[in-house]
Amino acid sequence: MRTAVFSARRYDKTMLTAANATAGHELLFIEDRLTVDTAVLAAGCEAVCVFVNDNVDAEVLDRLSRQGTRLVATRSTGYNQIDVAAARRNGIAVVRVTDYSPHSVAEFAVGLLLAVNRKIARASMRTREGNFDLDGLMGFDLHGKTVGVIGTGKIGTIFGRIMAGFGCVVLGSDRQENAAFQAFGGRYVPLDALHASSDVVSLHCPLTPETHHIVNAHSLAQSKRGSILINTSRGGLVDTEAASEALKTGQLGGLAIDVYEQEANLFFQDLSSTIICDDVIQRLVSFPNVIVTGHQAFFTVEAIRQIMQTTIDSISAFEHGAALVNQVPSP
Ligand code: NAD
């Protein structure tokens, strides 16, 4: 099936091509993000393959539909960038990748926590300059501390289990309880209590209207003073300006984010030779107790291989009229 692959980076080309070896779909790789201006590049493509920062809103879907697109396949678990209701109105099916190494993201979240708590990135920058001073690099033991997990699905549960292995008390907040989270000793508490008791809060719920800015000025004021916030889920879960204010007063002791509310204009590209006009992120990266990575938590060989294979399998199933096991249900 002729498929336009937007936001295609080098690894997308290599690994999607490998996954497609036997399926034989005609893949058209496009480096640009999908927007209303670039949608025309998918003319004649029955399938369009997108990533997290492509803009798949109603206007784009109307245009894609008029051009003959019948399937949108996102190379991600989250699909908040897609107006699923508008896709349905346009007779376009939406598939995602429901299952790929959740360990990739959970392990990265642990990495961010260790890096921000123990100042590993700062220490490494210092030693490159020949500075072996320890001043300013003190962290705290995770053993015995309380870790709050918001969203205890696949990733949140693995993260919680790893933290339990560190000897932490693990609290969870979710709309539905997960026996796997409780199996290692994770305990559900109301969200307010989680914020009030946790030394570390890690976000693992999807971005929905309900979870937008689930971390905000109010929740940060309720939090334990000096606690650390980790976000590997979606930028819109955190009111970044409120987090910035809380960092300034010391209410928030550290912040590590792999996702950022305004990341669409920044992430997945090399902007090192340009002036970045986003003052919020510029201020954030200037804090010594903040770590920002560019949406790379999923980026392991195992996860990417699985993402590409599932995407190709979904396109093949659609082409042959088979059941779409990874279809996003209509809202
Ligand atoms: P999942 O569906 O297994 O788990 C999500 C959990 O969040 C579910 O248990 C759900 O009930 C819960 N939830 C929903 N609304 C909630 C709310 N209001 N409050 C608390 N919990 C709520 O999903 P997953 O595979 O664990 O992925 C979680 C998120 O991680 C994804 O939605 C995606 O945004 C993010 N993610 C990020 C990356 C990355 O590279 N940074 C990669 C993959 C996924």
- CATH number for the domain spanning 279: value is 3.40.50.720
Same domain, 170 and 269: yes
Specify if 186 maps to a domain. yes
- Chain-centroid distance of CA 22 in Å reads 30
Residues 6+ apart with CB under 8 A from 271: none
Same domain, 172 and 236: yes
Share of the chain above pLDDT 90, in %: 95
Same domain, 82 and 133: no
Counting atoms of ligand 1 from 1, which one is nearest the CA of 150?
20
Ligand 1 site-directed mutation target among 174, 176, 291, most atoms within 8 Å of CB: 174
Confidence grade of residue 99 (pLDDT, cut at 50, 70, 90): confident
Its domain, for residue 14, covers 2-100+300-319
Nearest CA to ligand 1 atom 35: 233
Specify if 329 maps to a domain. no
Specify if 144 maps to a domain. yes
Model confidence pLDDT, tens digit, residues 285-298: 999 999 999 999 99
Question: How many domains in the chain?
Answer: 2
Annotated active-site residue in 46, 204, 234, 261 = 234
Same domain, 269 and 306: no
Confidence grade of residue 269 (pLDDT, cut at 50, 70, 90): confident
266 vs 181 pLDDT, higher one: 181
Specify if 262 maps to a domain. yes
Specify if 41 maps to a domain. yes
Same domain, 50 and 110: no
Ligand 1 site-directed mutation target among 53, 192, 205, 238, most atoms within 8 Å of CB: 205
Specify if 244 maps to a domain. yes
Same domain, 131 and 219: yes
Specify if 331 maps to a domain. no
Specify if 327 maps to a domain. no
pLDDT of res. 77:
87
Helix, strand or coil, per DSSP, at residue 330: coil
- Chain-centroid distance of CA 274 in Å reads 25
Model confidence pLDDT, tens digit, residues 194-250: 999 999 999 999 999 999 999 999 999 999 999 999 999 999 999 999 999 999 999
Same domain, 32 and 115: no
pTM: 0.90
Compute the distance between CA of residue 211 and CA of residue 284 in angstroms, rounded to an integer. Answer: 22
Share of the chain above pLDDT 70, in %: 100
Same domain, 286 and 148: yes
Ligand 1 pocket residue status of 156, Cβ below 6 Å: yes
Nearest CA to ligand 1 atom 2: 153
Q: What is the mean pLDDT of residues 136-161?
A: 98
Tokens linked to 9: 């980076």
Helix, strand or coil, per DSSP, at residue 289: coil
The mean of the pLDDT values for the chain is 96
Same domain, 193 and 221: yes
Same domain, 204 and 309: no
